[in-house]
Amino acid sequence: MNIKSKLFVVVILIFLSNCNSSVQKLDSPLVQSIDNIVAPYIDSNGPGLSLLVMEKGEELISKGYGLASLELNVENDPEMIYKIGSLTKQFTATAILKLEEDGKLSIKDDIRKYLPDYPDHGYKITIENLLNHTSGIPSFTDRSDISDIEKTELTPNQLIALFKEEPLEFPSGEKYSYSDSGYVLLGLLIERLSGVTYEKYITQNLFSKAELNNTFCDNPEKLIMNRVPGYTLDSLGFKPAQYMTMKVPFAAGNLISNVNDLYTWTKTLHKGEIISKEQLSKMFTSAQVTSGEYTGYGFGTFVKTFADQRVYFHDGWIYGFISSQFYFPESDIFIAVMSNSTSIDSHEIASKIIAELFKIETSMAIDQLRWY
């Protein structure tokens, strides 16, 4: 046998070996368990989800379930791009910490130092208060007319005008209360201090550095490969999600991404390649209110202890989509579940997968990993 023939045989053997390992992986007990976990949440011929589970850099499962498009009968897969809602907040928080690292601000600063036109409500509201939801500023998404607001193309200043005159719900720093308004203000801060739009800043300083090729500020006027539509479920069945302009969620929730990019982002961030590890530690430190109580929220992420390990997680809900992301830094376990239907509870699915990974009772995992 000549050299060329031998090389050909080697290549074929390697190919067959890879195919074999792939088949074994798909038939692994863990994959079968996760299939069983997901199955009750997926309707026949209905929307579904993409999920990714990684441990120490090894892919345990990367898979799509259900349909990405009901109209076109296209199946979901891990490359599909979803609206991620409040998972956006981790990117906004990182951008603020990047600006601090560059000497543009201090998170201890009063926001009125940079937004002098914001009303003085009698209390110092710091950038840190916005990041960890202790500002007392009411969330504009709780307004009774929010469904009308979400259909209106608004600038950041117009969004802020919706809540800036409202009294604080409590003195800043006294309590924790989740507020999308705070992250809209952070988005405007990013624009004013960087001199460019929020989209341009995070694209250049976060997405490009982490080599995220499937993460964008959502814009319906742009063609984006693999972007999936969202659905809701009512008594008549599935229907397209309610329309909203993505200018309204702004820095609180207007990004789109896929499970692979969320993993790449998490790993790059924790390596200290976007901001220093010293800055990063601020992001993953639970806020403490004036009573001394810890809130369980850092900057753009929940911070908890589960199975004697730290876990950082967040959910993103936006019309037609629910996404959940969990990261256990000590065991280097990452889980992302992204659904294109609000009828599919991504957080519960992720919690059940975590229970399977840690061999813990499912109900206990669901209870301990609640964010509310």
* Whole-number average pLDDT of the chain: 93
Question: What are 16-42's pLDDT values in tens digits?
Answer: 333 333 333 556 899 999 999 999 999
Is pLDDT of 350 > 90?
yes
Judge residue 345's burial from the number of C-beta atoms within 10 Å of its C-beta, 0-12 exposed, 13-18 middle, 19 or more buried: middle
Judged against a pLDDT cut of 80, whether residue 139 lies above it is answered with: yes
Question: pLDDT tier at 371 (50, 70, 90 boundaries)?
Answer: confident
249 vs 349: CA distance, rounded Å: 25
Residue 201: which of 220, 211, 188, 214 has the closest Cα?
188
CA-closest candidate to residue 231, choices 65, 343, 150: 343
CA 305 → CA 314, 327, 336, distances in Å? Answer: 14, 11, 18
Token duo for residue 91: 């990117």
The rounded distance, in Å, linking the Cα atoms of 72 and 45 is 11
For residue 368, give the nearest of 309, 293, 316 by alpha carbon: 309
Residue 132: which residues within 8 A CB-CB, separation 6 or more? Answer: 176, 287, 295, 297, 298, 299
Which residue has tokens 């969320």?
262
For 322, half-sphere exposure in the C-beta direction (CA atoms, 13 angstrom radius) is 14
pLDDT given at position 113:
97
Single-letter amino acid code for the residue at 359: K
Residue 294 has pLDDT above 50, yes or no: yes
Q: Which two tokens stand for residue 144?
A: 């009774």
In the chain the domains, ranked by start, together with CATH numbers, are 81-218+249-286 (3.40.710.10), 301-372 (no CATH)
Q: What is the pLDDT of residue 26?
A: 54
Residue 302 has what pLDDT?
98
- pLDDT for the residue 244: 95
Kindly tell me if the per-residue pLDDT of 10 is higher than 90: no
Among 9-23, 59-73, 148-162, name the one with the lowest average pLDDT: 9-23
Per-residue pLDDT tens for 64-85?
Answer: 999 999 999 999 999 999 999 9
Please, are residues 228 and 76 in contact by the beta-carbon 8 Å criterion?
Answer: yes
Quick: pLDDT tens for 94-125: 999 999 999 999 999 999 999 999 998 999 99
- Residues 57-84 as b/e (b if ≥16 CB within 10 A, e otherwise) read eeebbbbbbbbbebeeeeebbbbbbbbb
- pLDDT, one tens digit per residue, over 191-205 is 999 999 999 999 999
Q: Is residue 132 predicted with pLDDT exceeding 70? A: yes
Q: Would you state the structure tokens that stand for residue 93, as one six-digit string?
A: 């928080």
Decide if pLDDT at 347 tops 60. yes
Half-sphere exposure of 233 (CA within 13 A, CB side): 16
Residue 1 has pLDDT above 60, yes or no: no
Question: What's the mean pLDDT in 134-155?
Answer: 95
* Residue 324: how many other CB atoms lie within 10 Å: 28
User: Which pLDDT value is given to residue 20?
Assistant: 31
Mean pLDDT on 8-16? 39
Q: Among 6-10, 66-70, 205-209, name the one with the lowest average pLDDT.
A: 6-10
pLDDT tens digits, one per residue of 239-292? 999 999 999 999 999 999 999 999 999 999 999 999 999 999 999 999 999 999
Q: What's the pLDDT score for residue 283?
A: 98
In this prediction, residue 303 carries a pLDDT of 97
Largest CA distance in the chain: 87
What integer pLDDT is reported at residue 370 of this predicted model? 87
Q: Which residues contact 124 (CB under 8 A, 6 or more apart)?
A: 110, 172
pLDDT at 15: 39
Q: How far is CA 162 from the centre of its chain?
A: 25
What count of other Cβ atoms lies within 10 Å of the Cβ of residue 164?
A: 17
Tell me how many degrees the CA angle 212-213-214 measures, rounded to the nearest 5: 95
